[in-house]
Amino acid sequence: MGLPRSQYVRDGEIGVYHCTTRCVRRAFLSGYDSYSGRDYTHRKSLIEERLSHLASIFAIDVITYSVMSNHYHVNLRTRPDIVADWSDYEVARRWLVLCPIRYRSKKKAQDPVEEHIAVLTQCRERIAELRKRLSSLSWFMERLNEYVAYCKQRR
């Protein structure tokens, strides 16, 4: 039986972790499902692209990964030493790329705007919190799993 992530992942320390996520109820993640006759091979490339995108934002290295038919494995290295060297501007910019401001009139997310970055950099407490999140294993996995779940529902 596994332990909660909070018992073995220490924030602020460099570490290497093996994470796995699986589907439930006979759901297929990738490959050909002979039961339903549907092909889900396109999802592997979606997961690969998302891992690459998240690695470009977070201070987390993707060491290896493997996408199986109903689960995937990811080996990650947290790098709080790198995020500590980022400027407040860089932290705000990366956060707004990860969680963009969306407007009701526009369904697509907008690229970070200089004025939004400037406003965010003014709040020291918020920047300190975002600095922790950008090197957090839990935040990384949450953003990855949220995306995978959303992609599974669309098709």
Domain positions in the chain: 11-84+137-155, 87-133
Contacts of 18 (CB under 8 A, 6+ apart): 73, 74, 75
Q: Does position 6 have pLDDT exceeding 70, yes or no? A: yes
Which percentage of the chain shows pLDDT scores above 90?
50
pTM: 0.85
Helix 114-121 and helix 124-133, axial crossing angle in degrees, nearest 10: 100
CATH among 1.20.990, 3.40.50, 3.30.70, 1.10.12 for 11-84+137-155 = 3.30.70
Percent of the chain residues past pLDDT 70, beyond the cut: 91
Q: How is residue 69 written in tokens?
A: 């038919």
Q: Which of 29, 15, 1, 4 is nearest to 152 (CA)?
A: 29
Residues 123-128, mean pLDDT to the nearest whole number: 95
Q: In the predicted model, what is the mean pLDDT of residues 71-97? A: 95
Judged against a pLDDT cut of 50, whether residue 100 lies above it is answered with: yes
DSSP-based three-state secondary structure for 72:
strand
Residue written as token pair 């995306």: 147
